[in-house]
């Protein structure tokens, strides 16, 4: 069974590990605090946004994926589900 990951929960974990506020996170990402809040609520995030998040929080993409794996799965598919 394939579990889909919740990227937004990983954003929260990355931000917490970095020990930065949403305002500081937004400053580093050159965006608004409201956008940071949106990232934390999104199940799916584009790869370039994940790269930016990782740069701003000082983690690797593999660490970001570890955070995703620790989060509650969004949904799951049976291995024989066609794509």
* Per-residue pLDDT, 83: 46
Task: Provide the greatest CA pair distance for the chain.
Answer: 44
Query: For 15-67, what is each residue's pLDDT tens digit?
Result: 999 999 999 999 999 999 999 999 999 999 999 999 999 999 999 999 999 88
| 19 token code pair | 């020990």
Q: pTM (2 decimals)? A: 0.80
CATH code for the structural domain at 2-72: 1.10.260.40
Answer positive or negative: Cα dihedral of 67, 24, 48, 6: positive
Backbone angles phi, psi at 43, to 5 degrees: -75, -35
Residue pair 8/77 in contact by the 8 Å Cβ criterion:
no
């Amino acid at each position: 069974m394939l579990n889909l990951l919740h990227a937004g929960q990983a954003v929260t974990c990355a931000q917490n590990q970095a020990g930065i506020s949403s305002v500081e996170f937004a400053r580093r990402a050159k965006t608004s605090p409201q956008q940071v809040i949106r990232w934390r609520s999104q199940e799916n995030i584009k790869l370039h946004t994940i790269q930016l998040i990782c740069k701003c929080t000082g983690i690797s993409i593999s660490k970001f994926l570890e955070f995703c794996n620790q989060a509650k799965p969004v949904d799951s598919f049976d291995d024989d589900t066609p794509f």
